Structure 1
Amino acid sequence: MSFATLPGELYTAIVEQLDPSLWAPVVLALSRVLPSAPIPLQLLFHTIRIKQPQQAVSLFLRLEKASNVHGSSQDICPTWVKEFSVASWSVDADVIINIVRLLPNLTSLNVRIGPSNFSPEHLEQLLENPIGKLKQLSLRFRPYVNKASYYQFHKGVYYDSVLLAIAKWPPQEMPAISIVQDPQNLNVDTARKPSFAQPIVFFRIDPYLSIMIHSPSLAHSMKALRLRIPSRPVARALCVCPGASRTYYHANNYPTMPNLEFLDVSTCGMIEAELDMILAHFRNLKHLIIDGCADLRQGEWAALGKRCALVGVKRARDREKELKAWMEEKWVENHETIGSDIEPAQMVDLPSRTIPRRQRPGRRGLATATITLRDHSTENSSRSSSHSRDDIIPKSVVPKTRILPFVPRLETLAATPTTGIETSKRLAICAEFEAGWAEGIAQLAVTRARMRTSARNGVRLLRFAEDGENKSDPVHGVEGLVDVNSQDEDIFATALSTAPNLCLAGRGGDEHVAGCGHTIARNIWSEAVEGD
């Protein structure tokens, strides 16, 4: 049997062993060398990458010809395209929109938005309706110009509406989204830093990003999110639902991405409290990349490791405060005034009189007043009104309830400072981080063991429910929580004892830790951005 007589399925199996980016040239070469062999030509169209503007025009004409010949865009080569990438910053946006509309089985879309090709209206038109069978969407912005132009500022050319367009999609399975704005130092034409202000991609990122992230179209299916917007704070938009006045973890009418496992917020603005907010909010998070977000010095990595290990304790305490506040508010709503049916023993003891200040011995000053013109009734009423709500709430309406802190599931952490880290110091920093993590895990184990004892002594113990385990109505105050069986030893076990893999190589560095978050990102998104 010669090579030319092999069945087509075998050719397909051989080519699929290669990287998808090599399928097209390999299949093209085989079809030229073996013109009579059953070469799988559909692999030519599986992954298409537009590098030059003219290539987009040629592709559109080819797809349109297939549609006109067969009477439908559902036939022949348009259905073969699975991954479509625009690697040019100057391609015609209208041509790209027409191409995408001819691809019914598209699963991956990568688009580059430069300063003059895609306007916000073009992106809205592209993303107005769900695209094919899309599983992965990547939008990469580079709006920088070499000549001062304030057209964008005067007209208000911002891409906030693009986030709202995605949020309007019906619920679907799209596990990976990437929204990246290149830093200005990556602009290939800037030999020296320009002295004028550059265009802005997102004007009001906080409300619109929050709406998109928590929309029903993405929240439940999203497993990986890459969000790089230089120096812009995004933690609140990720963790707080639209219109929420407080950072409640439970009282939300929007989903909160319970399946999110990978998060990359490199180059974004972030403080320590916001890092704790992210780790506490996404308790199923396994891979976190925060390169260029904070500058930690040697000696501060132990504290970072300890915080990462104790995020469950922080969230449990915050949730306990919310639950107690909810119980008190409900009691106040039902008892505007203290009724006679409440026993005095149930009340918190209030001082019946004010204890006078003890006078010091010695001569009193001449300016000391010996009389007062204030009415005694007014003084007593002001004293009584100064008592807080907690002073008149019965003890019995707020039973002692504890919440079991969860064990963190973080597996990898990439946290390279903006200044970088010398290779010789990486081992010491990793050891410092692991020591802080071990200390935090030990403290967590003690806390969980103490709560187990309290539960067996009659204290009500709750835990955070898994997704779909508790669907209580928000008016009950315990939504997202389930009771803990104090006799179940597995619930109190602290299984994760090893520290996450800490990668300090940076987005563009070398010597990455095996299986670090940068490697995970390259496996998720077929096209890496500069610095990865």
Structure 2
Amino acid sequence: MIPYLDELPPEIYDGILTHVPRGERQQTTLSLTRAIPRSPVPLRHLFECIRLKSAESVVHLYCRLRGRLEEPRWVNGFSLETWSVDADVVVNLVNLLPRLSRITLFVGSDFAPEHMEEILEKPREALSYISLLCREQLIISFSRWEGSACTGVLVANSGKQGAYFDTALVALARWPTANYPTLSIVQDPLDAEMAHKHHFAQPLVFFRLDAIHTLACSPYLRSLTNLRLRIPSRQVASFIYSSPRSIPGLQILDLSTCNVRLTDVEALAARFQQLTHLIIDECNITRGDAEGEWSNVGKICALATVKAAKEREKKLKAWLEARAVRSSPDPEVATVPEEEVTPARRARPGRRGLAIATISLRDPPTRMTMPVIRTNIVVPKVRIVPSSPTLRSLSATTSALHKDKHDAIRAQFKRGWEEGLAQLTATRSRLSQSWRNGTRMMRIAGDQGVEEGFDGLEDVDGEGAFYGRDAIRNPWPVPVLCLAGAGPNSVQHVDRCGHAAASCVYDI
């Protein structure tokens, strides 16, 4: 006899709902409970992944969960997707949920820095994903938002005086080390047409960018692999790559809409040893689409590790020389004359005639003496082998919209990348010969820590460090160059581009 639908055991419903996509599981569970109200549908799926899109739903959920013990523990993901909401209710609601692993918040004008500090004050052990989307801090009168379009009258260019969220990043930086793979901080860019019409500048969400450096170097981001940081027109890249302690395991980096220069691209590719996807849409790293511009980009990406190795080698050499001087038992000190320096005479106005005197009755310049240390110190010669390039895709925006021009740009990029690889291969070949002749060779380890002395370095153990394991087949393939942009565009994305990789990580 075939049982009725409402007679199925709860295990069957549980197995069915686990195959429903996470974003649709809540609505599917709700539909089942309404269609067959007497069925034993597990209600935990109703609370497992919550997405709220109105201020009223925030209040209703808070009233439902307040005072309950079991239901708040069912909530695994929480997403607030509305700009107009009572921030105090949101704070109270989030603090009711002890087992959150994913948080997505639309930070509108009702949020103050104190609200974000309270949400992020206590570390959450289960949290693996956090996304903060910051709306432009604008006072809007008699208006409403429909997607990205605004109708109404803008009456001011600042929602709250001094409402900067630097302290939110500092609060995150104080969390202990944890398995924390994904972080997303996005500020909506100001609409260009609206800004020009009303003479508005991009509002500031973060006043000082030092907090980004503090967060990037914090123990809590040691395991971070995916970072999306979009702060329009701000130079944030240097605060990410300036320290060797910054996010050692970074693989996907999205700095779209930021002020990113070509030198920043080079530094990012050099600093992060596991970076595979770099997304810099609307950053304008080139001055245009002229011949050779994108060839230079490809060459810089390929040679970034060469420059990093040279700079690290200089620091190591200076450290070895300083250590050798300090450890010298009996340096020989000699006194030698310094170069004669005659003070410059003050120029006087007027024409110079032929009667200007050619001799001077002033005292002759004195000779200065200074001690010079002469030692027989021998500093060991150590060379740093450039690391292999890890970049697999670069997503950028260009003014060329036609697909035929994109193909030409990709050809330029490929040519520059291959030229850079040729120089990298030649550099490694020379270092390989020096290694065979007895010169000590080292390479930068994955987790660099600090760049002092031999910290973050390891000795070369064989020929593979100079040529790579896959040198014969295809050592370093040309990164995928996607020029489609992040938004809807008539130009198709390239297969295996950074946009596709990021879409698998971020919910919005």
Shorter-chain TM band: 0.7 to 0.9
**1:276 and 2:276 are equivalent in the alignment:** no
Letter paired with 2:54 = Q
Q: Secondary structure at the match of 2:198?
A: coil
Contact 1:420 1:506 in 2 (8 A): no
AA at the equivalent of 2:55: P
1:192 and 1:474 mapped to 2: Cα distance? 46
* Cα offset, 1:2, TM superposition: 4.5
| 1:415-426 → structure 2 map (5 Å cutoff) | 415-417=396-398, 419=399, 421-426=401-406
**In proportion to residue count, which structure has more strand?**
2
Deviation at 1:151, TM superposition (A): 6.6
Answering whether residue 443 of structure 2 is matched by residue 463 of structure 1, we say yes
Alignment of 1:63-82 (within 5 A): 63-65=65-67, 67=68, 73=69, 75=70, 77-82=71-76
In structure 2, the partner of 1:481 is 457
TM-score by length of 1: 0.80
Q: In the alignment, what sits opposite 1:346?
A: none
Residue correspondence of structure 1 range 364-513 to structure 2 within 5 A:
378-379=366-367, 381=369, 396-417=377-398, 419=399, 421-467=401-447, 477-485=453-461, 488-494=462-468, 495=470, 496-508=475-487, 509=489, 510-513=491-494
Aligned letter for 2:101?
T
Give, as a single letter, the amino acid of the residue that structure 2 aligns with 1:179.
Answer: I
Q: 2:191 aligns with which of 162, 185, 191?
A: 185
Of 7-16 and 406-415, deviating more is 7-16
Q: Distance in 2 between matches of 1:394 and 1:279?
A: 40
Query: Would you say the 8 A contact 1:106–1:133 is kept in 2?
Result: yes
Distance 2:401 2:313 in 1: 40
Shift of 1:17: 3.0
Q: 1:214 aligns with which of 214, 217, 220?
A: 217
1:294 maps to 2:287 = no
Distance 2:80 2:400 in 1: 31
Q: Could you tell me which amino acid in structure 2 is paired with residue 303 of structure 1?
A: N
Q: Which runs of 5+ in 2 are unaligned?
A: 141-153, 341-353
Select the residue among 29, 32, 42 that pairs with 2:31: 29
The corresponding residue for 1:107 is 101
Q: The residue matched to 1:184 in structure 2 has which SS?
A: coil
Aligned to 2:144: none
Q: Aligned ranges for residues 1-20 of structure 1 at < 5 Å? A: 1-2=2-3, 4=5, 5-20=7-22
Shift of 1:425: 1.2
Between 298-307 and 8-17, the greater mean CA deviation after superposition: 8-17
Counterpart of 1:233?
235
Please tell me whether residue 263 in structure 1 is matched to residue 253 in structure 2: yes
Contact in 1 for aligned 2:138/2:159 (Cα 8 Å): no
Where does residue 349 of structure 2 map in the other structure?
none
In the alignment, what sits opposite 1:140?
133
Q: Does 1:518 align with 2:499?
A: yes
**1:199–1:497 distance in 2 versus 1, CA, 3 Å:** closer
SS in 1 for 2:504: helix
The Cα of 1:166 is off from its aligned counterpart by 1.0
The answer to whether the 8 Å contact 1:288/1:412 transfers is: yes
- The one-letter code of the counterpart of 1:103 is L
Query: Contact (CA 8 Å) 2:385, 2:442: kept in 1 or not?
Result: yes
Distance in 2 (alpha carbons) for counterparts of 1:375 and 1:397: 41
Q: Is the 8 A contact 1:438 1:497 kept in 2?
A: no
Tell me, which stretches of 5 or more residues in structure 1 are unaligned? 68-72, 242-248, 250-254, 343-349, 355-364
Query: What's the offset of the Cα at 1:436?
Result: 1.5
Please give the alpha-carbon distance, in whole angstroms, between the structure 2 residues aligned to 1:22 and 1:353: 80
Q: Deviation digits for residues 193-218 of structure 1, max 9, x if unmatched?
A: 3224564211111x111111111122
> Aligned partners of 1:292, 1:16: CA distance in 2, in Å?
39
For residue 167 of structure 1, what is the aligned residue in structure 2?
173
For 1:359, the equivalent position in structure 2 comes to none
Counterparts in 2 of 1:158 and 1:44: CA distance versus 1, 3 Å: same
User: Equivalent residue for 1:360?
Assistant: none
In structure 2, relative to structure 1, the CA distance for the partners of 1:2 and 1:410 (3 Å cut) is farther
Instruction: Give how far 1:259 is off.
Output: 0.8
Please say if 1:328 is aligned against 2:321: yes
User: Per-residue CA shift, 1:282-317, capped at 9, x if unaligned?
Assistant: 121111101111253242111111111111101000
Q: Which amino acid aligns with 1:433?
A: F
8 Å CA contact 1:152, 1:158 repeated in 2: no
- SS of residue matched to 1:428: helix
User: After superposition, what is the alpha-carbon deviation per residue over 1:50-87, rounded to whole angstroms, capped at 9, x for unaligned?
Assistant: 1110000000011115x1xxxxx3x2x21221111111
Check whether the contact 1:316–1:404 (CA below 8 A) recurs between aligned residues.
yes
- Structure 2 residue identity aligned to 1:311: A
Between the aligned partners of 1:285 and 1:474, the Cα distance in structure 2 is 19
Distance 1:372 1:308, change over 3 A: farther
Aligned to 1:42: 44
CA distance in 1, matches of 2:339, 2:66: 89
Q: Is the 8 A contact 2:432 2:463 kept in 1?
A: no
Q: Write out per-residue CA displacement over residues 423-464 of structure 1, whole angstroms, 9 at most, x where no aligned residue.
A: 221112112212211221222122112211101101111111
Q: What is the CA–CA distance in structure 2 between the aligned matches of 1:395 and 1:523, rounded to whole Å?
A: 60
Which SS does the other structure have where 1:217 is aligned? helix
Change (3 A) 1:186 1:524: farther
How far residue 156 of structure 1 moved from its aligned partner, in angstroms, is: 2.1
How far off is 1:394 after superposition?
A: 5.4
> How far 1:182 moved relative to its partner?
0.4
Q: Aligned partner of 2:176: which letter?
A: P
Q: Is the Cα contact below 8 Å between 1:144 and 1:184 reproduced in 2?
A: no
**Residues matched between the structures, number:** 468
CA distance in 2, matches of 1:109, 1:195: 35
What value does the CA root-mean-square deviation take over the aligned residues?
Answer: 3.1
Instruction: Give the secondary structure class of the aligned counterpart of 2:100.
Output: coil
Give distance in 1, aligned partners of 2:313 and 2:390.
Answer: 22
Taking structure 2 as the reference length, the TM-score comes to 0.84
